């Protein structure tokens, strides 16, 4: 599948906010958004007309890039959200939050969503005891998420056992000693900590 392979820090600078695409670096003084807080390119400091369409587009791009999704994937979640009860924008974000790669990232197994996606792709993660190597797999409440037995002694995971997971969402549980956790409940819009105006994305797609 196609995937953006360029410098991810440029994506944060383009959106003018941290998308936390580089793991620990995003929290350090080396963060590109803090060192160069302007859009990339020679016209990065130029004033641009804040039209309604531009604002809507930037919100969509911000959400899409934060989760590491391509346009076709992102629009697919919008179409699924339209068929569910409730607010389409909120439903869309909740669906994306339920992706397995995002769960692995939220549990602290991966330092970024890109790394979490790679861990899933390489068969390191199990759901209810079975290996799932599909990053877009949607978890359900009560699902048990864990590092595969036999992989826990690998250097990457062995180091994780000695660490402390911070900012673990209340709807997830994770034990670093056993490298296993659980989806306690499905996330709500309040659990999405990204600054996204989802109603603008809905307005953009509704045109």
Listed by start position, the domains of the chain span: 1-48, 53-98+193-207, 99-183
Q: Is the pLDDT of residue 163 over 60?
A: yes
Which of 57-71, 95-109, 165-179 is the most confident on average?
Answer: 95-109
Q: Work out the average pLDDT over 177-192.
A: 95
Residue 167: predicted pLDDT: 84
**What is the SS3 string spanning 46-62?**
CCCCCCHHHHHHHHHHH
**Phi, psi angles (nearest 5°) of residue 190:** -65, -20
Q: Is the pLDDT of residue 111 over 80?
A: yes
Q: 1-48 has which fold?
A: Ribosomal Protein S4 Delta 41; Chain A, domain 1 (1.10.1050)
Matching CATH topology for 53-98+193-207 and 99-183? no
Q: Which of 102, 98, 33 is nearest to 67 (CA)?
A: 102
Residue 72: predicted pLDDT: 95
Q: Which of 100, 102, 91, 95 is nearest to 198 (CA)?
A: 91
CATH architecture of 53-98+193-207: Orthogonal Bundle (1.10)
Residue 1: predicted pLDDT: 47
Q: How far apart are CA 47 and CA 86, in angstroms?
A: 37
Assigned token pair, 204 = 């953009």
Domain 99-183 has CATH 3.40.50.620: no
Q: Is the pLDDT of residue 26 over 80?
A: no
The gap between the terminal CA atoms of the chain, to the nearest Å, is 28
Q: How far apart are CA 148 and CA 124, in angstroms?
A: 5
Q: Is the pLDDT of residue 49 over 80?
A: no
To the nearest whole percent, how much of the chain has pLDDT over 70? 76
Assigned token pair, 43 = 């016209």
């Amino acid at each position: 599948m196609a995937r953006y392979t360029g410098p991810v820090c440029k994506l944060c600078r383009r959106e003018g906010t941290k998308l936390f695409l580089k793991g620990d670096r995003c929290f350090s003084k080396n963060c590109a958004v803090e060192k160069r807080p302007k859009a990339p390119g020679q016209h990065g400091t130029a004033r641009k007309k804040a039209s309604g369409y531009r604002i809507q587009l930037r919100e969509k791009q911000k959400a899409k890039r934060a989760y590491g999704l391509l346009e076709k994937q992102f629009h697919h979640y919008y179409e699924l959200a339209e068929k569910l009860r409730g607010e389409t924008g909120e439903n869309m974000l909740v669906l994306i939050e339920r992706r397995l790669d995002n769960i692995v990232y939220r549990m602290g197994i991966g330092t970024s969503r890109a790394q979490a996606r790679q861990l899933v792709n390489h068969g390191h993660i199990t759901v209810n005891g079975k290996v799932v190597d599909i990053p877009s797999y949607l978890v359900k409440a009560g699902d048990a998420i864990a590092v595969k037995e036999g992989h826990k002694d690998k250097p990457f995971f062995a180091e994780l056992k000695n660490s402390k997971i911070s900012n673990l969402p209340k709807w997830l549980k994770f034990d670093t000693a056993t490298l296993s956790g659980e989806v306690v409940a499905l996330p709500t819009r309040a659990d999405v900590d990204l600054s996204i105006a989802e109603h603008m994305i809905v307005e953009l797609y509704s045109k």
